Amino acid sequence: MRQLALSDEILLSVDKPTRYTGGEFNSRMDAQEAFDTFCTTFAMCFPDVYEIGMSNLGIQIIYDLFNRRPGTFCDRVFSPWTDLDPLMRQHHIPLFGLESQRPVKDFDFLGISLGYEMCYTNILQVLDLSDIPFHAEDRTWEHPIVIGGGSCTYNPEPIAPFFDLFYIGEGETQYWPLMDLYEQCREEGLSRREFLKKAGNLPGMYAPQFYTPVYHEDGTLADFVAEEGMPARIRKEIVHDVSDTFYPEAPIVPTMRVTQDRVVLEIMRGCIRGCRFCQAGMIYRPVRERSVEFLKDKAVKMLKNTGNEEITLSSLSSSDYRHLKELIEYLIDTFHGKGGVNISLPSLRIDAFSLDVMSRVQDIKKSSLTFAPEAGTQRLRDVINKGITEEDILEGSGLAFEGGWNRVKLYFMLGLPTETEEDMRGIAELSERIAERYYEIPKEKRAGKVQITASSSFFIPKPFTPFQWARMFPREEYLARARVVNQHMKEMKNKKSLSYQWHDADTTILEGVFARGDRRIAAVIEEAYRRGCFYDAWTETFHFDVWMQCFADCGLDPDFYIMRERPEDELFPWDFIDIGVNKRFLLREWHNAREGRVTPNCRAKCQGCGAACFGEGVCVEGSR
């Protein structure tokens, strides 16, 4: 049995001690020997608490891919919760890998998954507790190579000083070559800087310390200068054949309940829809479907090897996967009589087919329908290119109500470009019409009252979307908009069947700054961490006032990053990244948005966005 890094006393003093003990089924039972004997060790970190991190698919894929490499050991690291953090400092216990229980500092690599901007201070907590210097240039071979991956690397600048490398794109392709290079450089006795220069020349790799941003007097970016020998532009990496690549067959089975307590099967990558607010829809282009044979095989193996009874078929728009019916029917048949399998299908369009599937794999009484109209009126839905109409929603809910459902969830955004009061009121009116549709059903055929829950978040413009030029609004304005919706909800005839919730505006502001921030923001993040900010994604540990004070003390104005509508010719901090989709296309879409012009999806008509440069997926469908 492994020696644990934390004593019984500490483990019994903190909430949910299995967050820190490792040893889960399908984890590496040889972890401690592997750590001591293998040549390359990688600590894969998700900078949030265990139950969130273990629910992340990217972590599972990368973990599996590393541990398949001969002579390589990959461990997992998560953020200690706020109860353990002070105990580790008090007892001088360094942060450790869950499986080996060895200090993070003794690994060759520390990989940090960057899934959302609000985890940025947690990165510093991980470095701090691991006793690794915050700044890349202060590190030596004594310290692991700190590499970031995940969706926030599409604008890595606000956290650039804290990383030796960023991996931009899909992890499956370049990690093995990176490790080969690392082993070779160590063997040849190269300096850390020499290694990083070579690594920064691998496809998809960005070594920020060799790049210098230059600013205009007004604070906008004037130039982004690469040191000699470093690539000026970095193209994201993609997996070319998604049906012949790494995918875990025996994922780790957490002993404690995690957020996603189920097997996750990614059925395709990318999305054909082209919603103008959606970053994932742009950065993961082109759409690539996995073959149904690949998915059947992985699904059965994963369910068998984990003992899970639930599987999520994951993608950005599951209804667009062309073999969905075949896959679902195969799963239902295979597990029939063996306790069954519960299939959850996020991002599914509600129609006759999906309702039939849902009625077979879920409990109607317990499940609710989910629609994401995103905006309250058709005009605004055209602006954001959300290809769902009021008719679709009413028809889908009508079918569902007749099938026995009586709960509907609706997701909206407030603060979208061109939004007017009519659009805000439209949220209440659409909710009302869905309720009215329910009460058209004869009383004796209805399952009691209908419950319609509308919730709205505040829109945050993200890099590499047509809205990357858009402005945001002050927190008071956001709250005022939410109040307009709330007030109008109360004026509806069926107000008793409607409820409305809105997200916090403070985190919106900060997330907005991080999303489109530049390298100067790093100083604010560091200062906020030093003043005690971490776990900013959790309301109870988020201190907006401290953050605002840090901006002021660092001489930076958050409004510069969020309140300006950016000129069309402005150079952005993330422009050195090439995602295939080009800025010309994004700008054209920004114009189309403001004129309310809808753009057809990739399968209906190619728009020449630039992603065809990868020569894959939907871009070449039919031409092979």
Partner 1 sequence: MKVRVKFGKDGSARFAGHLDVMRYFQKALRRAEVPMVYTHGFSPHPVMSFAQPLGLGLSSEGEYFDLEVSESLTTPEEVARLQAQMAEGFSVTDWRLLPEKSQPAMAVIAAADYAVSIREGHEKPAGIFRDLPGAIARFRAQEKCLVTRETKKNTIETDLLPLIYEMRPDEADPETVFLRVSAGSVDNVRPEVVMEAFWRFAGCEPAPFDFAVRRLELYARAEDGRFVTLADMGVPVTEPLSDAPTEGEA
| 11 is an interface residue for partner 1 by CB under 8 A | yes
**Cβ closer to partner 1: 31 or 316?**
31
Q: Does residue 17 touch partner 1 according to CB under 8 A?
A: yes
Distance separating alpha carbons of residues 174 and 246, to the nearest angstrom? 12
Would you say 11 or 554 has its CB closer to partner 1? 11
- Output the DSSP codes for 541-578: G--HHHHHHHHHHTT--HHHHHTSPPPTTPBPTTTTEE
Stretch that binds partner 1, among 20-28, 83-91, 134-142, 283-291 (CB under 8 A): 20-28
Sign of CA dihedral 169, 175, 181, 182: positive
362 binds partner 1 (CB under 8 A): yes
What is the length of the chain?
624
Q: Which of 131, 183, 309, 390 binds partner 1 (CB under 8 A)?
A: 309
Q: In this structure, what token pair is assigned to residue 440?
A: 């058209």
Query: Smallest gap, in angstroms, from Cβ of residue 403 to partner 1?
Result: 14
In whole angstroms, give the CA distance from residue 162 to residue 135.
5
Contact 179, 72 (CB under 8 A): yes
For residue 333, state whether it binds partner 1 (rule: CB under 8 A).
Answer: no
Tell me which of 67, 82, 308, 319 binds partner 1, using CB under 8 A: 308
Measured from the CB of residue 2, what is the shortest distance to partner 1 in angstroms? 7
SS3 206: strand
Measure the CA angle with vertex 149, ends 145 and 155; round to 5°: 110
Which tokens hold the place of 275?
């919603």
**Of residues 256 and 571, the one with the C-beta less far from partner 1:** 256
| Residue 83 token pair | 């109860």
- Among 8, 218, 228, 545, contact with partner 1 (rule: CB under 8 A): 8
**Does position 2 bind partner 1 by CB under 8 A?**
yes
Given the complex with partner 1, which of 331 and 384 has the nearer CB atom?
331
What is the rounded distance in angstroms from the CA atom of residue 173 to the CA atom of residue 576?
A: 21
Nearer of residues 336 and 493 to partner 1, judged by Cβ = 336
Residue 456 three-state SS: strand
Assess 191 for contact with partner 1 (CB under 8 A): no
- Burial class, 533, CB count within 10 angstroms (exposed 0-12 / middle 13-18 / buried 19+): buried
Does the protein bind partner 1 through residue 29 (CB under 8 A)?
Answer: yes
Residue with smaller CB distance to partner 1, 23 or 133: 23
- Alpha-carbon torsion, ordered 595, 596, 597, 602, to 10 deg: 130
Cα–Cα dist 379/586, whole Å: 20
Smallest separation (angstroms) from partner 1 to the CB of 266: 22
Return the number of the residue (249 or 429) whose C-beta is nearest partner 1.
249
Separation between Cα atoms, residue 610 and residue 282, nearest integer Å: 11
**Residue closer to partner 1, measured from CB, 70 or 307:** 307
Neighbouring-strand partners of residue 498: 452
- Cβ-Cβ contacts under 8 Å for 604 (sequence gap 6 or more): none
Shortest distance in whole angstroms from residue 366 CB to partner 1: 8
List 7's β-bridge partners, or say none. none
Q: Supply the minimum distance, in Å, between the C-beta of residue 30 and partner 1.
A: 11
Please tell me the count of residues contacting partner 1 according to CB under 8 A.
Answer: 35
Contact residues for 40 (Cβ-Cβ < 8 A; gap 6+): 69, 71, 72, 73, 108, 109, 179, 182, 183
**Residue number with CB closer to partner 1 (365 or 597):** 365
Q: Helix (H, G, I), strand (E, B), or coil: what is residue 434?
A: helix
- Candidate list 220, 305, 344, 451; residue touching partner 1; CB under 8 A: 305
The reply on whether position 25 binds partner 1 by CB under 8 A is yes
Q: How far is the CB of 12 from partner 1 (least distance, A)?
A: 5
34 contacts 2 by C-beta, under 8 angstroms = no
Cβ atoms of 147 and 163 closer than 8 Å: yes
Element counts in the chain: helices (H) and strands (E): 21, 19
Q: Least separation, in Å, of the C-beta of 348 and partner 1?
A: 19
Residue 337 C-beta: closest distance to partner 1, Å: 9
CA distance 270 to 284: 5
390 part of the interface to partner 1, by CB under 8 A: no
Least distance to partner 1, CB of residue 11, Å? 6
Q: Does 15 bind partner 1 (CB under 8 A)?
A: no
Judged by CB under 8 A, the stretch of 303-311, 372-380, 436-444, 490-498 that binds partner 1 is: 303-311
Instruction: Work out whether 304 is an interface residue with partner 1 (CB under 8 A).
Output: yes
Residue type, 301: K
Selected range binding partner 1 among 25-33, 77-85, 116-124, 479-487, rule: CB under 8 A: 25-33
Q: Which is nearer to partner 1, 339 or 622 (CB)?
A: 339
Per-residue contact string for residues 336-355; x = within reach of partner 1 by CB under 8 A: ---xx-x-------------
1 is an interface residue for partner 1 by CB under 8 A: yes
Place of tokens 């709330």: 486
Query: CA–CA separation, 27 vs 251, rounded Å?
Result: 8
Shortest Å, Cβ 317 to partner 1? 27
Indicate whether 501 belongs to the interface with partner 1 (CB under 8 A): no
The answer to whether the CB of 325 falls within 8 A of the CB of 355 is no
Contact flag: residue 30 with partner 1 (CB under 8 A)? no
For partner 1, the closer of residues 2 and 594 by Cβ is 2
Helix/strand/coil for 311: strand
Query: Do 328 and 283 meet the contact criterion of CB atoms below 8 Å apart?
Result: no
Of residues 218 through 277, those in contact with partner 1 by CB under 8 A are 253, 255-257, 261
Q: Please, what is the minimum distance in Å from the beta carbon of residue 453 to partner 1?
A: 22
- For residue 492, how far is the Cα from the chain centroid? 36
Q: Which stretch binds partner 1 (CB under 8 A): 9-17, 579-587, 598-606, 612-620?
A: 9-17
Helix (H, G, I), strand (E, B) or coil at 533: coil
Q: How far is the CB of 27 from partner 1 (least distance, A)?
A: 8
Return the number of the residue (22 or 274) whose C-beta is nearest partner 1: 22
Beta-carbon count within 10 A of 439 CB: 15
Which stretch, 12-20, 154-162, 277-285, 293-301, contacts partner 1 (CB under 8 A)? 12-20
Strand 165-167 with 205-206, pairing: antiparallel
Positions in the binding site for partner 1 (CB under 8 A):
1-2, 4, 7-9, 11-12, 17-18, 21-25, 27, 29, 253, 255-257, 261, 304-309, 339-340, 342, 362-363, 365-366
